[in-house]
Amino acid sequence: MAAKYVFINNQLFLEQDAKIGFSDLAIQRGYGIFDYLKVIDNRPIFIEDHLNRFFNSAKDMYLEVMLTREQLKTAVRELVHINKTPTCGIKLLLTGGYSEDGYAMGTPNLIISQYPLNMEEENEFEMGLKLVTYNHQRQLPYIKTIDYLQAVRLRNFMQENNADDVLYHNNGAVTECPRANFFMVTGNEVITQKENILKGITRSKILDFKIEGYTVIEKDFSIADLTGIKEAFISSTTKYAYPVSIIDGKMIGDGKIGPVTKQIREQLFKLTYA
């Protein structure tokens, strides 16, 4: 594999040399925010939306971003170029910075790193995802913090429940997956949770879609409301709209990708490759 570079505070490092001092508040106190976007054929997708959210997350957590919006865009382009990965995922991560006493905030460290991107252009599925519900309300849900304590910890729980991912609920109110939003499709509505979730950028695109015969709407719904739904899917930057076949062992529809999910998936591809 070719050498891969990472930006730390706008300096390039070889991946193996890209390090952060132990006193950083991300390490000491789990304090940081990030965003993740995809780049396809050198085109950063929805980068304005991602940067809006990145700057908002930083502001909400009282973290200063050392680069301007334009400098961040330049850094993303430069990283894609130097790593020779015209199609990839890019993560912008901002930490609480070096803290002398391990608690007070320092000057944030900015890490820009690159990940392989699995192409998701196919539209046929033997099966969609299997989800298992779990009662947990993420803290500061509207801010894209680095807190995935529960999600990472629940990997064993997922395996024990023969699931691919977790679907969080807040005492019965369905919210989101750890890294994706959740949608359900009824006879005439495409519904996603309105409250206590991270408002995904793919989710926001879907909310603007016109689907014939359906209202696309954000509102509160519960686990009980999942009974009898026609389709379910999750949305994220890497998954687009991805069908869900099983929730808590119960099949959704016939378990295959449904027509609404398929249509939304295709519209997302169009938007991405426009």
The residues that touch its own copies, with contacts defined as CB under 8 A, are: 6, 8, 15-16, 18-32, 61-62, 91, 93, 95-96, 101-105, 111, 113, 115, 136, 139-140, 145-153, 155-156, 179
What minimum distance in Å lies between the beta carbon of 49 and its own copies?
A: 21
Bridge partners of 114, per DSSP, are 90
Q: How far is the CB of 269 from its own copies (least distance, A)?
A: 23
Q: Where are the alpha helices (DSSP H) in 83-193?
A: 149-153, 155-160
Q: Least distance in Å: CB of 7 to its own copies?
A: 10
Q: How far is the CB of 29 from its own copies (least distance, A)?
A: 4
Choice between 31 and 240, CB closer to its own copies: 31
Amino acid (1-letter code) at residue 216: V
Q: Which is nearer to its own copies, 176 or 231 (CB)?
A: 176
Q: Pairing state of beta strands 240-247 and 250-251? A: antiparallel
CA-to-CA distance for 234 and 128, rounded, in angstroms? 10
Closer residue to its own copies (CB): 156 or 227 = 156
Residue 243 parent element (H or E): strand 240-247
Whichever of 150 and 263 has its CB closer to its own copies, that residue is 150
167 contacts: CB under 8 Å, gap ≥ 6: 131, 132, 133, 134, 174, 176, 177, 182, 247
Give the nearer residue to its own copies in terms of CB position, either 93 or 191: 93
Structure tokens at 158: 């997922």
